[in-house]
Amino acid sequence: MTVIPRLIARYAVVLYVLTAAGVIFYVWSAFQARRKRDLALFALEREDAANRGLRSWMMAVVCVLLALGVYGISSFIVPNMPAGEAEETPVMSLLFTPTASPTLPSAPTATAAPTATFGPVPTVAPIATPLDRVPDTPVPTPSVEGEEAALTAACTSAGTQIISPKNGDRLSGVVEVIGTANLPNFSFYKFEIQWPGTEDWVTVQSFDVPVAGGFLGNWDTTPLAGEPGTYKFRLVVVDNTGNFPEPCAISVIIE
């Protein structure tokens, strides 16, 4: 759970003001109780004033401890949190190849609609579709001209945009990703890929600084060179509540 510590760090100044006000109030209350105890004529009144003074001092100490807790969370805990700690997609090393399925994927249906995650669909549908294959069998590289007509990017959010690379681009080596990753209450953004013939998204990298129409990061496609083919690549931008708009996804050809 990272939402609560991040909220505490975000509103640390407000919490400091509240705890300081609490300390001042309870210290003042303690002195008032002491004054009433000194002026009291009866033992019962003195005892009641002493109890109120003790409670006031205890509450002042609690306020001080709360302020120290806010300082510790905002200064030490939150800065050391990994940017991808709130990710819902497991991070998998690109040095490992996804486990090969012993059988071919089931036949696609013609009812698939474009969503944030792409599954296998018939080649006649106007959705970017990686070729189904057995991982150990080489797949011929499709032509860019034929693929560009069928590939479409689901980039409906203005704060989640990939400008470069584009649908159908042939990629190799280190690729510069250009675009926009900027939302209200921004927390982080990440790159994800989908292997041909699979439906799972795998996180490649994550970043915690928003970008508007600029350099998002480098994507090293070298570990994928042993399995050339059509891959899905997408940008996911997450806010500080853990929610995100529809990711921006493209299909590219790894050579």
Rg, the chain, Cα only: 29
Residue 44 has φ and ψ, to the nearest 5°, of -65, -40
Paired residues of 174 in beta bridges = 220
- Where do the domains of the chain lie? 3-80, 144-254
Letter string b/e over residues 87-124, b meaning 16 or more CB atoms within 10 A of that residue's CB: beeeeeebeeeeeeeeeeeeeeeeeeebeeebebbeee
Model pTM? 0.42
Cα 196–Cα 197–Cα 202 angle in degrees, nearest 5: 60
Paired residues of 42 in beta bridges = none
CATH dotted code for 144-254: 2.60.40.10
Count of residues in the chain: 255
Q: From CA 42, how far away is CA 13, in angstroms rounded?
A: 44
- The one-digit pLDDT tens for each residue of the chain (255 residues) are 678 888 888 888 999 899 999 999 999 999 999 888 888 878 888 888 899 999 999 999 999 999 999 898 888 887 877 665 444 444 444 444 444 544 555 555 545 444 445 455 444 444 444 444 444 444 444 444 444 434 444 588 899 999 999 999 999 999 999 999 999 999 999 999 999 989 999 999 999 999 999 999 999 999 998 889 999 999 999 999 999 999 999 999 999
